[in-house]
Structure 1
């Protein structure tokens, strides 16, 4: 076997959303913060992201994480999040996968019944409480970055759908959020293709008509991701979300193509953004749990732990709780004669 690169990764999913975690084989990644490390990787080593996420090693629904040395002295580890078209500053499902891998593989020591640790994400410091039993992480609760609403009930023109009422909010990524009922769409797995097409139409419209910039980091812009919301299907739950991770930032796709993939989980940053909108409307108070369903019925539990201010925006301090499961360990090699040194995409599943 000839190999010019070998990458070791642990395969995991958080409530159904796959989040591959790279534990070895990365080059040195410079930077004075994990955000700078992310920027360096994007500019100088983006082929690692495409190699891991595109075919033949990846698929449209897959996310990936790179464990890196933290820069903040309070952090136990850092991680860089990679998706199909961007490097998100923060992700809930990927945080839960990364914590589970760090503890269950022994990279960081596990303390039962509760391990407390601190991660440095590109978005900042993330405090984590991991419940553990018999060597297994049974629940991860993390304090997310402050979340805030930028626009509530804004109207935009959406291609193929006319006028639509949306919110735009930050939960670790900038989301455009719309109630699915205004489009007559039920958030069930059988409607996945319709949900993806609608989400992408909303994202393309919002990035032009409602562009936003993070007040504390002008390098973060959006909206880059979209979320449909609706009522919960299960008693005792509070709502349901369908988030689409985009596969393409190119021109609008044809009506038959699938330009993104549904987040299989309830989405942690999406739940945080959703809670920020509910709080801004006076519908969710600090200390209240918000159990959010994803498109396949799995749940994350959100809570407003407090309130704060981010630039001109009143903000919440959200926590998110969920569980991840490891399902494999892989070593990925790259033959120097392989014609697909950075992976490839085909329009049958990538749009």
Structure 2
């Protein structure tokens, strides 16, 4: 558990407004008001600045001194920690785009910090931009929303029918395959993983067979019952490759019977310090697409049916190859779940909250 330290509480009147979405079950909390100024000349630079600790330190849990949270970090903690959030919370701070060609810029955040890429968040942002009227869209047809993220410029194609958003297609930055069949020593033996950079870096491997990796009674290897074994293994693999590859997450996948359109897989992504992606993972799906294309399993006109640990589905396609890598797109659904005004009472001894 991590919890409040003895840092000074923000002043009375701190108020943060959000619109919450989920994409295939994975939450995305969009901060629309109450964000302190975020310095920097680009989205990537703003993320780098956000990662820097504020000057000085405070006494944290257990008496250890920890970096003093700055204003932006205070808001991130407020929104991802209990009682206002939870360890699986994800979201985005809206910031200016890098230039006038994009409509939005975003800093992706989660309980452990700020990520470089987020496909499910890009889909949610595209849906929100159209649903809120920020970006004009036809009642029937598709609107394109350009979004600057730390890994580059991405697009959300928001599909509409009868005045409603029905699906969103995420077009990612190019994906590069970095390593194949890389041996990694783990507590269950040496495993071979593939590594790809799809805006964030992922190790990918088939779920180990037998034992705790098969969910009891289901026959499935990627299922909620297997998470107790997969999460610590994901942490092991990430820790082993973090220094070499700056790894963000680990994708465990299992094969399902092919569809008429192409491959069919179920996967779960374990990212940062043991977070579980409830969706099939947008940028992780881009990584899987590049690896399948490299194996000759995904050709022109084919698509990957990519199922999550909770049964939701993304479909992914390879659009082509460029000098930067494999060009991919991923389609899923994003739905609004609520609008919130979060406040912090200076007399609240829990401060920005806690994590279990």
TM class by smaller structure: 0.7 to 0.9
Aligned to 2:323, the other structure's residue is in SS state strand
User: For 1:189-242, what per-residue CA distance to the aligned partner results, in whole angstroms no more than 9, with x for missing partners?
Assistant: 22222221221122112225xx12xxxxxxxxx112111011137856611111
Give ranges in structure 1 of 5+ residues lacking alignment: 213-221, 249-259, 347-351
Tell me which structure has the larger Cα radius of gyration: 2
- C-alpha separation between the residues in 1 aligned to 2:32 and 2:76? 14
User: For 1:230-289, what per-residue CA distance to the aligned partner results, in whole angstroms no more than 9, with x for missing partners?
Assistant: 11378566111110133x3xxxxxxxxxxx232110001111111111222222224421
Kindly report which structure 2 residues correspond to 1:47-126, keeping only aligned pairs within 5 A, or say none. Answer: 47-113=74-140, 114-126=142-154
Q: Which residue, 192, 195, 209 being the options, matches 1:165?
A: 192
Aligned to 2:193, the other structure's residue is in SS state strand
- C-alpha separation between the residues in 1 aligned to 2:45 and 2:336? 29
- C-alpha separation between the residues in 2 aligned to 1:201 and 1:183? 19
Partner of residue 330, structure 2? 320
Give ranges in structure 2 of 5+ residues lacking alignment: 1-10, 53-69, 214-220
Aligned to 1:195, the other structure's residue is in SS state helix
The 8 Å contact of residues 139 and 164 in structure 2, kept in 1 or not, is answered as no
The 8 Å contact of residues 290 and 301 in structure 1, kept in 2 or not, is answered as yes
- C-alpha separation between the residues in 2 aligned to 1:50 and 1:245? 18
- C-alpha separation between the residues in 1 aligned to 2:42 and 2:180? 33
User: For 1:9-37, what per-residue CA distance to the aligned partner results, in whole angstroms no more than 9, with x for missing partners?
Assistant: 11110011111111111112222111112
- C-alpha separation between the residues in 2 aligned to 1:183 and 1:261? 23
The 8 Å contact of residues 182 and 194 in structure 2, kept in 1 or not, is answered as yes
- C-alpha separation between the residues in 2 aligned to 1:176 and 1:141? 24
User: For 1:18-76, what per-residue CA distance to the aligned partner results, in whole angstroms no more than 9, with x for missing partners?
Assistant: 11111111112222111112222333422221111111111111101112221222001
**Alignment partner of 1:187 is 2:222:** yes
Aligned to 2:256, the other structure's residue is in SS state coil
- C-alpha separation between the residues in 2 aligned to 1:183 and 1:127? 40
Kindly report which structure 2 residues correspond to 1:324-335, keeping only aligned pairs within 5 A, or say none. Answer: 324-335=334-345
Q: TM-score, normalised by structure 1?
A: 0.85
Q: TM-score, normalised by structure 2?
A: 0.84
Q: Which residue, 29, 36, 42 being the options, matches 1:27?
A: 36
- C-alpha separation between the residues in 1 aligned to 2:351 and 2:177? 41
CA separation of 1:41 and 1:111: change in aligned 2, threshold 3 A: farther
Aligned residues: 317
Q: Which residue, 6, 13, 17 being the options, matches 1:4?
A: 13
- C-alpha separation between the residues in 1 aligned to 2:257 and 2:227? 16
Partner of residue 343, structure 1? 353
RMSD across aligned C-alpha pairs, in angstroms? 1.9
